[in-house]
């Protein structure tokens, strides 16, 4: 079968005329090893054996979409010249997006009471904040709402950059629309000031949306910006990297911070020992040494 025909292969009917049972296609040991290696190559994420069922379930969606009947055929296709456009879909389905508004609230308290308060006290007009794994947008919108409640909101050149690997999730984040059960962590006053209700959903106002620029970015590739950033959020993504990749990403982020700039990591993440550029303030809060 040619590479071009793989993308258009029709679903095969089972005896009795029923549709091909994609959920029963076997993910062999070799398929899993190859899929995990490809994830690591493209994203740096380490896929271990306990994620096997997740890989099986999520890739079955792509088999169904393309009409392929084996994971081997799919993995050959995604690595072929004809499958270049499928790489983005592959990344989207295997990356995990789990977040909430004001997750790990102590980071936002530190952002408001220390970082933004200091910026306002210094009267700085340029402020740069990066949400480096923004998922479906709850983190950058939480940052924007925190900024709006601080004196630093008066800064004339304040920008929030929100990036993620998953293009589908970025589209949802950019839309800024959330179901009622997703916004329960937002204080009522803040919710009224930052969103408008549309039916049974809440949409962030244009004023809030304008504060954030959403961009697709693979943290393992070249970063198309030079900083410096006052704040970087890199939460709940390093846990998917091996030690060397984690160290490399943290080093690059530390170099992107201005002196006294702040790096927030996830609750289950920490630096591997002492860092030449970063000092710990506890609770996964790190400051760039002056």
Q: Catalytic site residues?
A: 58, 164
List, for residues 3-55, the tens digit of each pLDDT value: 333 333 333 334 334 566 766 789 999 999 999 999 888 877 778 888 898 89
What gap in Å lies between CA 202 and CA 209, rounded to an integer?
Answer: 13
* pLDDT value of residue 209: 98
Burial of 265 (C-beta count, 10 Å sphere; 0-12/13-18/19+): buried
Q: Other CB atoms closer than 10 Å to residue 193's CB: what's the count? A: 15
- Spans of the chain below 70 pLDDT: 1-20, 22-23, 96-98, 272
Q: Provide the pLDDT for residue 268.
A: 73
pLDDT score at 196: 97
| The pLDDT value given to residue 226 | 86
**pTM over cut 0.85:** no
For residue 222, count other CB atoms closer than 10 A to its CB: 7
Domains of the chain, earliest start first: 3-94 (1.10.155.10), 105-288 (3.40.50.150)
Q: Which residues neighbour 75 within 8 Å (Cβ) at sequence distance 6 or greater? A: 31, 34, 35, 38
pLDDT the model gives residue 248: 93
């Amino acid at each position: 079968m040619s590479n071009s025909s793989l993308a258009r292969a029709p679903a095969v009917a089972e005896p009795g005329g029923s549709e091909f049972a994609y959920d029963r296609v076997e993910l062999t040991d070799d398929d899993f090893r190859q899929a995990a290696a490809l994830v690591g190559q493209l994203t740096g994420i380490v896929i271990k054996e306990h994620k096997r069922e997740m890989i099986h379930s999520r890739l079955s969606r792509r088999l169904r979409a393309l009409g392929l009947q084996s994971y081997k055929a799919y993995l050959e296709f995604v690595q072929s010249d004809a499958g270049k456009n499928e790489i983005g879909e592959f990344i989207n389905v295997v990356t995990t997006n789990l977040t909430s508004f004001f997750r790990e609230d102590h980071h936002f308290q530190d952002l408001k009471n220390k970082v933004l308060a200091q910026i306002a006290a210094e009267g700085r007009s340029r402020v740069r904040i990066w949400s480096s794994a923004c998922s479906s947008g709850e983190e950058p919108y939480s940052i924007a709402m925190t900024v709006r409640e601080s004196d630093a909101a008066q800064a004339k050149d304040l920008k929030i950059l929100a990036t993620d690997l998953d293009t589908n999730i970025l589209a949802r984040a950019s839309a800024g629309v959330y179901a009622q059960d997703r916004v329960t962590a937002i204080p009522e006053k803040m919710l009224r000031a930052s969103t408008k209700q549309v039916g049974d959903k809440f949409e962030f106002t244009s004023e809030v949306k304008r504060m954030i620029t959403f961009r697709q970015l693979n943290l393992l590739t070249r970063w198309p910006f030079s900083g410096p950033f006052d704040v970087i959020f890199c939460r709940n993504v390093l846990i998917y990297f091996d030690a060397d990749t984690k160290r490399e990403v943290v080093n690059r982020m530390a170099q992107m911070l201005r002196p006294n700039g702040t790096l927030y990591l996830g609750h289950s993440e920490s630096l591997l020992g002492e860092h030449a550029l970063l000092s710990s303030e506890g609770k996964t809060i790190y400051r760039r040494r002056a």
